[in-house]
């Protein structure tokens, strides 16, 4: 209570001093507005405004623009008034008007193909045109002496042969799980009774002739034997490396696999360097470059079957040695898409050679594609190259 009395006395003293100060400054305290203590703030109820008829009846047309322009004046004023569903007019799509240019494309004429397919496509159905046509681009960085005089390039359109029916399914990349079970570990219905293929004769210096298998496989025409693949250099020397197969779910046995090969092959090969290296070495390869995908990538793509856990090349050396199995159709189909007359890698090499005006055996042109073809048991020869030229 004493604290309250002292405080009140102090307050009164302050008021007296302030009054004296105001008088000394010539200020009249009667003219000074002293703000009274504000009462407690009360929350007012929210009032929803009701739109009056006068405001709703106002015109909603936009104000006229301040700048005058013939273009703006020609545009009708846009109304923002909402329409009822019954008042709306059905929307109509604006018809596209195509400008007619003075230049006409040869593709748009009567003889144009219905659809365009890239040269690198592995599709057999690429139109009815007899030729592929190209236009040479910028020749900067190329040896002009190797180019033909014309800047246009024309190559014949070849198609893969129609493979005969082999009595089972499996034409696609994926193959058929009905034919080769997912967990199959042994070769079912596989026999080693087929004869060794012969080789077509070609003139000396014009490359290797194609291998000729029995009539049912006449559409399969590689021109490298498995021994020639290994001797020349393939897969960076890792064809028979130690490997855990995710298809068989167990490690592979290189010794058992190598025992399948003829003894004369192994006697004439540096097995440790060209077949059993643990790391990929590009210097081992025929063209000294790295090409193709790894076995791990082939497994992920679904291209490897338990019958041949090393992939295509293992199927090939077993096929060459006389084995015939249910997976032959699928593997030959894959080979045709890579190395057949319409195969993507073979076409790619041909167009690069023709584009550069180079000879068929110029190994400086696309060594990576050449190495890829080598892994598929094929090397471009003169006769095959000339088939594309008009």
Give dist(CA 162, CA 341) in Å, integer. Answer: 11
pLDDT bin (cut points 50, 70, 90) of residue 311 is very high
Residue partners of 20: CB distance under 8 A and separation at least 6 = none
pLDDT at site 2: 55
Residue 247 and residue 299 in contact, taking contact as beta carbons nearer than 8 Å: yes
Q: Tell me which residue of 294, 292, 302, 289 sits closest to 375, measured CA to CA.
A: 292
Q: Tell me which residue of 290, 272, 274 sits closest to 282, measured CA to CA.
A: 290
Stretch 171-177: mean pLDDT: 39
Give dist(CA 277, CA 274) in Å, integer. Answer: 7
* Ranges 185-189, 197-201, 211-215, 322-326: which has the least confidence: 185-189
Higher-scoring residue by pLDDT: 65, 244: 244
Partners of residue 58 on adjacent β-strands: none
Tokens representing 390 are: 């008009």
pLDDT at site 288: 97
pLDDT bin (cut points 50, 70, 90) of residue 30 is low
pLDDT bin (cut points 50, 70, 90) of residue 10 is confident
Give dist(CA 245, CA 61) in Å, integer. Answer: 76
pLDDT at site 161: 85
3-state secondary structure string, the chain?
CHHHHHHHHHHHHHHHHHHHHHHHCCCCCCCCCCCCCCCCCCCCCCCCCCCCHHHHCCCCCCCCCCCCCHHHHCCCCCCCCCCCCCCCCCCCCCCCCCCCCCCCCHHHCCCCCCCCCCCCCCCCCCCCCCEEEEECCCCCCCCHHHCCCCCEEEEECCCCCCCCCCCCCCCCCCCCCCCCCCCCCCCCCCECCCCCCEECCCCCCCCCCCEECCHHHCCCCCCCCHHHHHHHCCHHHCCCCCCEECCCCEECCHHHHHCCCCHHHHHCCCHHHHCCCCCCCHHHCCCCCCCCCCHHHHHHHCCCCCCCCCCHHHHHHHHHCCCECCCHHHHHHHHHHHHCCCCHHHHHHHHHHHHHCCCCCCCCCCHHHHHHHHHCCCCCCHHHHHCCCC
181 phi, psi to nearest 5 deg: -55, 150
pLDDT digits (tens, 9 = 90+) for 131-171: 555 555 444 444 444 444 445 678 888 998 876 666 544 33
Q: Is pLDDT of 49 > 80?
A: no
CA atoms within 13 A on the CB side of 90: 2
Q: If you average pLDDT over every residue of the chain, what do you get?
A: 76
Residue partners of 80: CB distance under 8 A and separation at least 6 = 60, 62
* Ranges 31-45, 130-144, 153-167, 307-321: which has the least confidence: 130-144
Stretch 122-135: mean pLDDT: 50
pLDDT digits (tens, 9 = 90+) for 322-345: 999 999 999 999 999 999 999 999
Stretch 279-303: mean pLDDT: 94
Residue partners of 374: CB distance under 8 A and separation at least 6 = 224, 229, 232, 234, 285, 286, 287, 291
pLDDT at site 25: 81
């Amino acid at each position: 209570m004493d604290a309250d009395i002292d405080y009140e006395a102090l307050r009164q003293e302050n008021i007296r001093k302030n009054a004296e100060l105001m008088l000394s400054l010539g200020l009249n305290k009667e003219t000074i507005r002293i703000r009274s203590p504000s009462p407690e703030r009360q929350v007012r109820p929210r009032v929803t405004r009701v739109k009056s008829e006068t405001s709703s009846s106002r015109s909603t047309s936009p104000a006229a623009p301040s700048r005058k322009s013939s273009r703006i004046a020609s545009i009708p004023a846009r109304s923002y008034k909402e329409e009822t569903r019954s008042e709306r007019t059905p929307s109509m799509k604006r018809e596209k008007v195509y400008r007619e240019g003075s230049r006409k494309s040869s593709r748009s004429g009567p003889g144009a193909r219905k659809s365009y397919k890239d040269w690198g496509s592995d599709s057999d159905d690429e139109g009815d045109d007899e030729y592929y046509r190209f236009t040479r681009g910028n020749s900067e960085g190329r040896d002009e002496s190797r180019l033909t005089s014309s800047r246009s390039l024309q190559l014949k359109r070849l198609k893969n042969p129609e493979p005969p029916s082999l009595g089972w399914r499996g034409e696609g990349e994926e193959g058929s799980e009905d034919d080769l079970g997912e967990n199959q570990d042994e070769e079912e219905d596989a026999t080693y009774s087929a004869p060794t293929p012969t080789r077509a004769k070609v003139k000396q210096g014009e490359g290797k002739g194609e291998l000729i298998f029995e009539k049912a496989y006449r559409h399969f025409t590689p021109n490298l034997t498995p021994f020639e693949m290994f001797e020349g250099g393939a897969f960076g020397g890792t064809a028979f490396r130690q490997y855990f197969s995710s298809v068989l779910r167990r490690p592979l046995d290189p010794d058992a696999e190598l025992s399948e090969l003829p003894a004369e092959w192994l006697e004439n090969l540096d097995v440790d360097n060209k077949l059993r290296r643990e790391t990929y070495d590009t210097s081992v390869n025929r063209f000294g470059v790295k090409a193709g995908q790894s076995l791990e990538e082939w497994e992920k793509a679904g291209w490897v079957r338990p019958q041949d856990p090393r992939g295509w090349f293992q199927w090939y050396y077993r096929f060459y040695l006389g084995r015939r199995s249910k997976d032959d159709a699928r593997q030959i189909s894959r080979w045709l898409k890579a190395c057949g007359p319409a195969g993507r890698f073979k076409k790619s090499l041909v167009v690069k050679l023709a584009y550069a005006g180079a000879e068929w055996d110029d190994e400086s042109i696309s060594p990576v594609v050449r190495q890829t073809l080598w892994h598929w048991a094929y090397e471009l020869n003169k006769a095959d190259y000339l088939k594309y030229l008009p």
